[in-house]
Amino acid sequence: MLSQIGKPIDKPLMASIKIIPPNNTDEIPAHIKSEATAIADEELANITKITNLILEGKETLY
C-alpha cells in the first residue's frame, strides 16, 4: 500500500496484492482476482476502525 501525506489512509495512491496460484500455474482465475480485490476494498474501508481499536487499547502493535 502506498499512501500520500495529507490524503485519507483509506484512499491509497496504490495497493498491491500478491496471489500465489495453486499448483504452480501462472494463470490466476478471474473469480479469485475479483475476490481478492473485494477483500482489499473491504479492509481499506475499515482501516480507520483498526486505528480506533489501537487507540482504545483493544489491539496491540507489538
**pLDDT at position 56:** 93
What tens-digit pLDDT sequence spans the chain (62 residues)? 888 899 888 888 998 999 888 777 778 889 989 999 999 999 888 888 888 888 999 988 87
Inter-residue contact 4 to 39 (CB < 8 Å):
no
Q: How many residues does the chain have?
A: 62
Amino acid at 22: P
User: Rounded CA gap, 21 and 47, in Å?
Assistant: 27
Sign of the dihedral defined by the CA atoms of residues 18, 19, 23, 29, in that order: negative
Question: Can you give the pTM of this predicted structure?
Answer: 0.67
pLDDT at 39: 94
